[in-house]
Structure 1
């Protein structure tokens, strides 16, 4: 959409406020609203000022002035505001007109440009399957003398004997038993359908929605693939609409990877492929899973760099509570066709040449999508450049349920890092593939690692409630 068309849309939709948004390093959106009457063509040239020192990981107070530059191609009408509001995604610039190198969206732009300059292809397409939970009640605290959390859901397996609910308590979702049941077990058909309706109105093309495996309201909505930056934009819209629709229903949605102990966590399986114009480059009929040599080398890059990559695709301490065997989490660094226990899966059901793709199943939605998608693309391109053969390096293919293998068979299979600290160590040691073409800078990576180490330390030094169960009577 051109600036002219955005301004026309403001008039036609009787927009009262224009909400300018940007994303921080953690992937959370921030916003400043201007009266629609104050927004004109100059706004898209001069931008909107904000204080960068108040955003974690951005700038110091001595250089705090920053500018949001609106992107007329990334707008939608907010479905939740009482006063008609148009949301506009922005890029971040310094006051002297330079793109800010810590702006995650600018990294996505550079990654897409690097792909074209490499001569490998013209566009990379991404499609995340971002799972989430819908709870009825969430409470938590972390203080000097107490630490706790509590979540509840009307459909949770632990509520078959809840007196307050009355009758019909038998229709609860069993632990690990929530994959696509019908009502009355699935209580959230309508709320997911409403989320999808609003997502469609915001411009996303919805492919399906369903209940996921875990008890207590785990859900998934799939939207159609798009280019790297556009998909990252769409994922921010997706999370915003999921969060706020749940709130309108008196519930709360979370993309936290592991909010429940003893049941499946929420991942963000990321489908990806490269095209040259209209020609898919990952398809080769007759190859393993109909994959081209380029696709195999792309997989090689993903798996070779996975320990470092995971610092960007699974960037929370909670991520590694999900990445444990036994809960469908892809902890094994191998590839396979159709095998959901592998870190990289090649979908084979009903796949056309243009639909041929690889799926990296390790990531979760604590990731900043601009950083995560860019890092995956850079790892894959490094695999293509260096012709990394995943089979020669022992990454598969492994078309077996890896969880059922003997300990001896598992010995030669690499696993994901066991903690955020391990992943950050890997990123500190292996990041040259990210700095190719200046897509990521060394300064950005160092800053990111320091911020994430602070998070890991904040969790590590706190007393865990389970430690009382283990040690209080010593």
Structure 2
């Protein structure tokens, strides 16, 4: 009996230790919450406004009631928030505007409730410094006749609230990389419940999610969004990120987009970006237009690196080392089916002579608006128009600076 009690006690302690990395909120009684979620709303609608904060990486949200379900983005009113609490304004002049730009269904409190992605404007109704959507939308309007498509592969890592990779031994490391990519099994796949819940949430919300898989490092996963045309790429990826943060919150686990979450011989996290234009997708697209596009990208390698993480390339410097399936941040390269190249041409594209290419340089924490903007600008605008400066007024009015 004593031995049995000790065994049960050891098991209990192991369970408690295993739960220690999960947030306290995740351990609340969800059945009680569901009792309230099933209450009728009296015909009214909850709308959650989502925006990017002053760090350029964090997401914020708050909710209001509308008297009826909005049928389009135009039915959702502008709102405001305290920018001094989101690194976007000083307390003496803190009001910021939320401008709805994309509407999605709410998978957490269900229909008729909505999630709405917003641009942020300052007190003078000019874009906030972290609002890269305004510039991106300007470029996408200029190149819209090219029907540019993007697909972005968002890698991410799951952490416990103790900032230790989810599922890793408390004092040590898991087996070396090798058995984890696209893996199955409790000893190889950590956090699949989160991944599958996020996938369903995206489908319900209307996010254009393409797929998902376990990545090379344990507790690291990837989801893909696209193909999306123009500005929609950034809208859908940012909302997919918000949904993943919310799902992780429910499970009590932390999502990190750090490009190199673990030092050493562990893969980093990127946001590989696939791109094509109408002529690339047509017969003969590879021989002429894809090669032309990649040549242009090579000439502006340093400019792209500056915009491929929110810290001007400093985050990617830890990741793009030329090891762990990356190219060197200092060099530009292309290759068919080469995952150590800056630009990878998929093998089937090389064989068929048409399709898309993959830019493997963007970091996991990149702003998709900045990435897609600079790619479209480099590939499709005259070099004399590259880096052309626009005033904030021109951003909003859609006119070039005179």
TM-score band (shorter)?
0.7 to 0.9
Question: Matched residue of 1:91: which SS?
Answer: strand
Task: Determine the structure 2 residue equivalent to 1:321.
Answer: 318
Structure 2 CA distance for partners of 1:194 and 1:112, relative to 1, 3 Å:
same
Task: Determine the structure 2 residue equivalent to 1:231.
Answer: 233
Q: CA RMSD in A?
A: 3.7
Q: Could you tell me how far apart the structure 1 residues matched to 2:161 and 2:348 are?
A: 38
Task: Determine the structure 2 residue equivalent to 1:36.
Answer: 66
Question: Matched residue of 1:208: which SS?
Answer: strand
Alignment of 1:129-208 (within 5 A): 129-139=153-163, 151-155=164-168, 173-184=175-186, 185-208=188-211
Given the alignment of the two structures, is residue 124 of structure 1 paired with residue 148 of structure 2, yes or no? yes
Task: Determine the structure 1 residue equivalent to 2:220.
Answer: 218
CA contact (8 A) 2:325 2:340 kept: yes
CA contact (8 A) 1:27 1:366 kept: yes
Pick the aligned partner of 2:386 from 421, 427, 433.
433
Q: State the Cα deviation string for residues 154-194 of structure 1 (Å, max 9, x = none).
A: 2569757xxxxxxxxxxx55335422222132243333222
Structure 2 CA distance for partners of 1:127 and 1:133, relative to 1, 3 Å:
same
Q: Could you tell me how far apart the structure 2 residues matched to 1:13 and 1:378 are?
A: 48
Structure 2 CA distance for partners of 1:113 and 1:292, relative to 1, 3 Å:
farther
CA contact (8 A) 1:136 1:252 kept: yes
CA contact (8 A) 2:286 2:353 kept: no
Question: Matched residue of 1:281: which SS?
Answer: helix
Task: Determine the structure 2 residue equivalent to 1:106.
Answer: 134
Alignment of 1:288-367 (within 5 A): 291-316=286-311, 317-331=314-328, 332-349=331-348, 356-367=355-366
- For normalisation by structure 1, the TM-score amounts to 0.63
Q: Could you tell me how far apart the structure 1 residues matched to 2:125 and 2:76 are?
A: 11
Q: Could you tell me how far apart the structure 1 residues matched to 2:112 and 2:208 are?
A: 23
Pick the aligned partner of 1:17 from 27, 30, 46.
46
Q: Could you tell me how far apart the structure 1 residues matched to 2:41 and 2:387 are?
A: 44
User: How far 1:82 moved relative to its partner?
Assistant: 9.5
Alignment of 1:254-273 (within 5 A): 254-262=256-264, 263-273=266-276
CA contact (8 A) 2:320 2:327 kept: yes
Q: Could you tell me how far apart the structure 2 residues matched to 1:305 and 1:269 are?
A: 18
Q: Which sections of structure 1, spanning at least 5 residues, go unmatched? A: 1-10, 140-150, 161-171, 387-430, 444-474
Pick the aligned partner of 1:47 from 72, 78, 81.
78
Q: State the Cα deviation string for residues 30-58 of structure 1 (Å, max 9, x = none).
A: 333222239989985862233445543x5
Aligned length: 348
Q: State the Cα deviation string for residues 400-421 of structure 1 (Å, max 9, x = none).
A: xxxxxxxxxxxxxxxxxxxxxx
Structure 1 range deviating more: 31-40 or 294-303? 31-40
Given the alignment of the two structures, is residue 115 of structure 1 paired with residue 143 of structure 2, yes or no? yes
Question: Matched residue of 1:291: which SS?
Answer: helix
Q: Could you tell me how far apart the structure 2 residues matched to 1:439 and 1:192 are?
A: 41
User: How far 1:110 moved relative to its partner?
Assistant: 0.3
Structure 2 CA distance for partners of 1:50 and 1:352, relative to 1, 3 Å:
farther
Structure 2 CA distance for partners of 1:29 and 1:249, relative to 1, 3 Å:
closer
CA contact (8 A) 1:273 1:358 kept: yes
- For normalisation by structure 2, the TM-score amounts to 0.74
Given the alignment of the two structures, is residue 67 of structure 1 paired with residue 97 of structure 2, yes or no? yes
Q: State the Cα deviation string for residues 123-159 of structure 1 (Å, max 9, x = none).
A: 22111111011233533xxxxxxxxxxx143256975
Q: Which sections of structure 2, spanning at least 5 residues, go unmatched? A: 1-39, 396-402
Q: Could you tell me how far apart the structure 2 residues matched to 1:42 and 1:311 are?
A: 33
Structure 1 range deviating more: 312-321 or 326-335? 312-321
CA contact (8 A) 1:198 1:241 kept: yes
CA contact (8 A) 1:242 1:253 kept: yes
